[in-house]
Structures are given as C-alpha cells and as structure tokens.
Amino acid sequence: MNFSKTNKLLCIVLAAIIILIAAIAVADRVIHANSAIAVPGPAAEPALQTDVKTGTRIGFAAPDFTLPTTDDSEFKLSDYRGKNVILNFWATWCGPCRIEIPAFKEIHDKYSDSGTVIVAVNCLDNPDSALLYATTNGMDFVIPLDPRGVVSDLYNIRGMPTTYFINEKGVITSIKIGPFINTEEIEERLNSFK
C-alpha cells in the first residue's frame, strides 16, 4: 500500500514539474517573441525619425549611448547618423567572437568608403586586453569599451557575439546572435540597409 502512495505522489510531483517547465517556456516565448535571431530584410521606412520608438528590435531606433574607445576618444552612436552601422558586441575571452573578426576586417576594408561603419563594442572585458587584442589583430574599426556591461545590458545582449545592423536613419534593420563565419554572411545582412 505504501508503494502505491509513493507512486501517486511521484506522479503528482512529476506532473507539477512538467506544467511548471511548460509555463516558463510559454512565458519566455511571449516575452522574447520579437527578439530572436532576425532574418535580414528591408526595414519599414519611417516618415520621420521621431515616429520610431526606441528599442532593441528590428524597426526600432537603436538606443543611443556614449563610451570611451581604445584610442582614448569618445564614441557616441548618434554621431553616426547618416551612415550604416554594424554594431557588434564582443569580448577577447569569447571564442566565437574571435572567429568572426577576420570577416569584419574584410568588410571594413571593403565597405568603409561607402558609408558603412563597423563599431565593435568590447563588453565585460579588461580595456587593456581589448586594446592589445585589437592592435595585435589589426582591428582598425571603432572599438568602444564597455567593461561593466552597461551598454550590453541596454541592448539586452544574452550571448556574444551579437550584431545589430543600424541604417543611416538610426533604425535597426537586422540582428544576428552568434558568430559570422565568413564575409558573405555579413554581406547578406548589408542588404537590410536598402
């Protein structure tokens, strides 16, 4: 008789756990419905910049921020309005981030004269490590420093690398979570600027 009661209790606990896991999964899906890996595509053309809400989703105006850079200057995102910005969040300790750096260097060399700017925000990292890594690896693009993760929190970065494509109006047109393997993958996302 005790065996039967134990089985019933075990079944009830197991059912409760399954229901709890399902509820968490549904809540997560609802909360993050529009923040999954985005498929590149044209963004809606707003009539005026003021008509666009600020946020970290496709079609939203990218939140502005100011950070110091590896070259001892100051970076402010809104200063780059009028240019297409590839905003990449990375760290020296992030293996997948290191994989995509050669592709970003190629894109920088190929597109910097056409008004496309790569901004590689170094997150949760030692600024000296970021400077050494950038110098050693020929990263000639803008590298803002976010050692405390303030801007990565602002952009809801859940994993690195994460890359936002922001058009000349300051609107997010594409988002990629995870590394780019080659330049072709990045160039496909550049089409979202059109």
Question: How confident is the model over 89-125, as pLDDT tens digits?
Answer: 999 999 999 999 999 999 999 998 998 999 999 999 9
| DSSP structure string for 36-65 | SPPPP-PPP--SSGGGSPBSSSTTSBPPP-
- Rg over alpha carbons for the chain, rounded to the nearest Å, is 21
> Are the C-beta atoms of 180 and 98 separated by less than 8 Å?
no
Q: Is pLDDT above 80 for 56?
A: yes
Residues 166, 86: Cα–Cα separation, whole Å: 6
Residues 6+ positions from 39 with CB-CB distance below 8 Å: 174
Mean residue pLDDT of the chain comes to 84
pLDDT of residue 192: 87
Residues 46, 69: Cα–Cα separation, whole Å: 31
Model confidence at 47, in pLDDT bands (50, 70, 90)? very low
pLDDT of residue 50: 52
Fold observed for domain 49-193: Glutaredoxin (3.40.30)
pLDDT tens, position by position, 134-185: 999 999 999 999 999 999 999 999 999 999 999 999 999 999 999 999 999 9
pTM for the full predicted model: 0.74
pLDDT of residue 3: 59
**Torsions phi, psi for 174 (to 5 deg):** -165, 150
Model confidence at 2, in pLDDT bands (50, 70, 90)? low
Model confidence at 29, in pLDDT bands (50, 70, 90)? very low
